[in-house]
Amino acid sequence: MTHNKSSHKSEGQFAQVDLQADQEERMPTDRGVTLRAQWLGQILRDFRERKGLTLKDVAEYLQRNISTVSRCELGIYPIRRVDAAAMLDLYGVSDKKQREAVMELAGDVWQTGWWEQYSKDDVWTSTIDRAWLENRSHEIRTFAATTIPGLLQTERYARSLMVVADRRATKREIERGVSLRMDRQQIFDRAEPVHLSAVLDESVLRRRVGGPEVMAEQIQHLRELASQPHIDLHVLTFEAGAHASPEGSFTLLKMSDPFPEVAHIESPAGSIYLETDSAERFSDIYDWFQEHSLSSEDTAAFLAALE
């Protein structure tokens, strides 16, 4: 069967649609290539290939240029919801759960969430992707080797870190970075807050970021967070010796199906995101940390002794 959602249109209408597609293709988005756009493109590309269709087939069905469809699949140009819905029809995707997940992601690609108030001049696109992932996740696991995880930091601790980490940053840039980090913690204020499991290397707690007063405030904040049912906090003490992640910190973010669990690593060049086998490897490493770190009760006692 030949699919053509626009078969009822005249040639003049076809030309108008083609012109609109050309204009949209050239229209700047000022958003950069986001992880969510890449995921959406990958999902739709997988559906297309399973159906045995070419980019040309899809372009003719949508009345778009082949280059536009290709850019959409690569995440360079975010797919519009109307096109995503048409692609699902073309690919014969009838499963309600699959369709809802794709359409929800298509909405996120263009949606202006709170994180979008931070322009690419303020922070890297990869940092905005991380905020989006955290907002989408229902479970986060993190190992901290050098500093308190951003989701658990106080404002003064975060500011003290940023001032030293980027000595070229202006005061405005520092304050925007601190604001973003505090806004990310909104995931704990949801009706169903994200579940966070964190393992902190003992050295993280011994290092006096910002001085004794800032650290005392930060430790007290950790104690308060650890008492909440959706936060599971553990300390990996020096007595544990060599550990399973000598390369450093990492975070695992788990969202609802059909999206994969993602491993996030921070680097001087920005964020790195890993999926599938790589994420599974980090999941195994995190299991090791939980086995060798202090229990929740012993962690609470350890934190209390630091004050």
100-154: per-residue pLDDT in tens? 888 988 888 776 555 555 555 545 555 777 888 898 899 999 999 999 999 999 9
Q: For the domain that residue 101 is a member of, what is the CATH number?
A: 1.10.260.40
Torsion of Cα atoms, 94 then 95 then 97 then 100, to 10°: -10
Report helix, strand or coil for 283.
helix
Which residue in this structure is represented by tokens 């499963």? Answer: 95
Instruction: Give me the number of domains the chain comprises.
Output: 2
Q: Are residues 199 and 58 in the same domain?
A: no
Which of 87, 111, 135 is at the close of a domain? Answer: 111
What average pLDDT does the structure give for the chain? 84
Closest by Cα among 185, 197, 186, 184 to 230:
197
pLDDT given for residue 14 in this prediction: 27
Q: How far apart are the first and last CA of the chain?
A: 72
- pLDDT under 70 in the chain at which residues? 1-32, 111-126, 258
Looking at this protein, which amino acid is placed at residue 14?
F
Q: Are residues 46 and 120 in the same domain?
A: no
Rounded to whole angstroms, the Cα distance separating 283 from 209 reads 29
Closest by Cα among 279, 243, 281 to 264:
279
Which residue in this structure is represented by tokens 């240029």? Answer: 65
Which of 93, 111, 129 is at the close of a domain? Answer: 111
Report helix, strand or coil for 196.
strand
Closest by Cα among 118, 114, 98, 43 to 75:
43
Judge contact between 201 and 144, C-beta under 8 A. Answer: yes
